[in-house]
Amino acid sequence: MEEPKKRRIAIVTDSTADLPPQFVEAYGIRVVPQILIMGDKTWQDGVDIDPAGFYELLQTSPHFPASSQPSVTYFERVFSELAETHEGIVAVLVSNELSGTINSATMAASNLPGTAIEIIDTRSVSMQLGFIVLAAARAADEGATLQEVAAAARALIGRAQVYFVVDTLEYLHRGGRIGAAARLFGTALNLKPVLQLCDGIVHPLAKVRSKRKALDRVLSLVAEQISPDDVVHMAVLNVAARQEAEKLAEQLVARFQPAEMVYTECGPVIGTHAGPGTVGVAFYNE
C-alpha cells in the first residue's frame, strides 16, 4: 500500500464548501462542520446529518431551519491538532458576508500565537469556495510553503464564479442571506430567479418564466465568460434537484469540454439558505 503523502501545510475549510468526499480524502483536507439548527435540536453539517436526512427533516419538521458558525473552541482544537504534524495551516473559509466563520477562526488563531496560521476570506461559498480550497490543497500537495499555498488560494478569489437558480427566494430571505436579490422578493412567484454570488453577496441577474429557461440563461452566462481556448474547471451543484443537475452537467460537458467536472450535492447548511430545487454552476478559467 502506498504511504500517505506527508504535507508541510495543512488545509482547513468549512462544510459550506460542498467538497465531494473523494477530494477531502485525496488531499487530506480538514472540514470543519457548520451547525444546523431546527427547533431545539442541532446537528453538525456532514457529520451527524447528510443531505438526504436534512431534506426529510425539512418536509416533516414544523420548524424552519437555521445555521450557526463553528465555535472558536472547535477551530482552536482543530488548529492545535494540525499544528502537531504540520509547519503551518491555511484556513480557506466561507465569505464573511454570509457567516461568522471567519471571526471564529480568527479568534482561535489569535489564541495560538506560536502557530503559523493563514485565515482566508474567500468571499465565496459552495464549490466556488471548493475550487479555491482545491487550489490551496493542490499547492500544498506539491510541497509549497505557507505563503505559496495561501497565494494559490487568493489567486482564485474573484476568478472562481457561481451562478445558480432557486425555486423560491423564501429561504434566502428568511435566512438573511438574500443580499441584493431582496428587490426581487415578493414578485411573481412563478418566475425563477437567476442569481450570482459576487464578492460574497447574492446578486440578482434575471427572473425567468420557467426553471428550464432559467437554467438555459445560466448556460448563456457561463458561455459569456469562456473563450474557445480556455482551460475551464466546472462544478454542478444542487439542493434536492439531482435530475436537473445531471442534465445541466451533460450540457456543460458537451458545450465546454471542461478539464475538470465536479458534481456535488449541497450540504444541509447551504440547503437551509438556498432551499430545495436549487441548481448551480461554479467554474473558473486557468
Q: Give me the domains of the chain, ranges plus CATH numbers.
A: 9-34+69-154 (3.40.50.10170), 161-285 (3.30.1180.10)
- Alpha-carbon span 169 to 260, nearest angstrom: 30
Question: Within 13 Å of residue 150, how many CA atoms lie on the same side as its CB?
Answer: 13
Confidence (pLDDT) at 184: 46
Instruction: Specify which residues 284 forms β-bridges with.
Output: 233
Summarize pLDDT for 57-84 with one digit per residue, the tens.
877 888 888 889 999 999 999 999 999 9
> pLDDT confidence of 151, banded at 50, 70, 90?
very high
Summarize pLDDT for 104-146 with one digit per residue, the tens.
999 999 999 999 999 999 999 999 999 999 999 999 999 999 9
> pLDDT confidence of 281, banded at 50, 70, 90?
very high
**pTM: predicted TM-score of the whole model, two decimal places:** 0.91
